[in-house]
Amino acid sequence: MRSVCVIGLGLIGGSLLRAASTSGRTAWGAAPGDDASGALADGFSASSDLDEALRRAASEDALVVLAMPLPEVDGVLARVAELAPECRLSDVVSVKEPVARSVRRAVPGARYVGGHPMAGTSSSGWAAGSASLFDGAAWVTTVDERTELEVWRDVASLALDAGAHVVPVSTAEHDDAVARISHLPHVFAAVLAAVGADGGPLAMALAAGSFGDGTRVAGSNPELVRAMCEGNGTRLLSVVDDALGRLGAARGSLASTGSLAATLKAGHHGRQSLDAARAEPRNGVRVDLRAPDASDGLAAIGARGGRITALDGDIALGELP
Residues 223-282 that bind its own copies (CB under 8 A): 225-226, 229-230, 233, 236-237, 239-244, 246-248, 250-251, 254-255, 258-261, 263-277
Q: Where are the beta strands (DSSP E) in the chain?
A: 4-7, 27-30, 46-47, 63-66, 88-91, 111-112, 115-117, 138-142, 165-169, 283-288, 307-312, 315-320
Q: Quick one: DSSP state of residue 180? A: I
Q: Hey, which residues between 77 and 106 contact its own copies (CB under 8 A)?
A: none
Among residue numbers 103 through 122, which ones bind its own copies (CB under 8 A)? Answer: 118-121
Q: Which is nearer to its own copies, 21 or 90 (CB)?
A: 90
Of 41, 172, 204, 291, the one binding its own copies by CB under 8 A: 204
The amino acid sitting at 110 is A
CB of 282 to its own copies, least distance (A): 11
Number of residues located near its own copies, criterion CB under 8 A: 101
**Which residues does 167 contact at the CB level (< 8 Å), separation at least 6?**
138, 139, 140, 141, 302, 306, 307, 308
Where in 27-153 does DSSP place strands (E)? Answer: 27-30, 46-47, 63-66, 88-91, 111-112, 115-117, 138-142
Q: How far is the CB of 116 from its own copies (least distance, A)?
A: 9
Q: Is 215 in the site for its own copies (CB under 8 A)?
A: yes
Question: What Cα–Cα distance (Å) separates residue 62 from each residue in 56, 57, 90, 155, 176?
Answer: 8, 5, 11, 11, 31
Longest dimension (CA), the chain: 70
Q: Is 216 in the site for its own copies (CB under 8 A)?
A: yes
Q: Is 71 in the site for its own copies (CB under 8 A)?
A: no
CA 64/CA 304 separation, integer angstroms = 29
**Which of 1, 219, 290, 293 contacts its own copies by CB under 8 A?**
219
The span from the CA of 76 to the CA of 254, in Å, is 51
Q: Which range touches its own copies (CB under 8 A), out of 22-30, 147-155, 205-213, 284-292?
A: 205-213
Report the alpha-carbon distance of residue 29 to residue 57 in Å, rounded. Answer: 10
Asked whether 22 and 131 are in contact (CB, 8 A), the reply is yes
Check residue 304 for interaction with its own copies (CB under 8 A). yes
Pairing verdict, β 115-117 and 138-142: antiparallel
Binding of its own copies by 41 (CB under 8 A): no
The residue among 1 and 277 lying less far from its own copies, judged by its C-beta, is 277
User: Residues 221-244, buried b or exposed e (16+ Cβ, 10 A)?
Assistant: eeebbebbbebbeebbeebbeeee
Q: According to CB under 8 A, which one of 78, 172, 203, 291 is a site residue for its own copies? A: 203
Q: Which of residues 124-183 bind its own copies (CB under 8 A)?
A: 137-138, 140, 167, 169, 173-174, 176-178, 180-182
Give the range of 27-35, 48-56, 150-158, 202-210 binding its own copies by CB under 8 A.
Answer: 202-210
Which one of the spans 5-13, 28-36, 98-106, 215-223 is the region binding its own copies (CB under 8 A)?
Answer: 215-223
Q: Report if residue 8 touches its own copies, rule: CB under 8 A.
A: no
Minimum distance, C-beta of residue 93 to its own copies, in the bound complex (Å) = 15
Contact region with its own copies (CB under 8 A), list: 32-40, 106-114, 156-164, 304-312:
304-312
